Amino acid sequence: MSDCVFCRIVAGQIPSTRVYEDEEVLGFMDIGHVNPGHVLVAVKKHAENLYALEEPQAAAVARASVRIARAIREAFSPAGLSVYQANGKPAGQTVFHYHLHLVPRHEGDGMQLTWPVKNPPREKLEEYAARIVERLQAARPQG
């Protein structure tokens, strides 16, 4: 069988504490648990990362995340909520099966993301944007 830990969780081959399930998505408690109420929202069908998601999976993850986030807010009344999602090792991904984190947040909870802003000039932003827009236009569905 699969050696992917989240595939094994989806299949019920290893235990998890589940909070949400639909056709495409499983929501379960993160075993590492940064703050009470920390939930992982994972696709059921294996996809390594964001790039590999099929659009119905992406839509289902977004819908489930909103529902679960509201339930977390009601259950734990956190001061804030972080949505964290890593693709690739340099981005911090450790389980290579698509998932996002819903992390309830509190002042001084110690969770940190260093964000080294560069503030490039507008021309640079225009140049970067053009590179992305070109690919988006090439990828636009026909018809």
- Under the rule (CB under 6 A), what is the footprint of ligand 5GP? 5, 16, 28-32, 86, 92-95
Distance CA(53)–CA(55), nearest Å, equals 6
Contact 39, 27 (CB under 8 A): yes
Interacting residues toward Zn ion by CB under 5 A? 4, 6-7, 46, 97
The catalytic position among 38, 99, 101, 106 is: 99
Least gap, CB of 80 to ligand 5GP (angstroms) = 18
Please list, in sequence order, all residues whose beta carbon lies within 8 angstroms of the beta carbon of residue 80, skipping any fewer than 6 positions away.
Answer: 104, 105, 106
Which of Zn ion, ligand 5GP, none does 7 bind, CB closer than 5 to 8 A by kind? Zn ion
> At residue 54, what is the residue type?
E
Which of ligand 5GP, Zn ion, none does 4 bind, CB closer than 5 to 8 A by kind? Zn ion
Least gap, CB of 73 to ligand 5GP (angstroms) = 20
Distance CA(116)–CA(105), nearest Å, equals 21
User: Does 46 participate in catalysis according to the annotation?
Assistant: no
Among candidate residues 25, 1, 24, 5, the one with its CA nearest the CA of residue 16: 5
Q: Which residues are catalytic?
A: 99
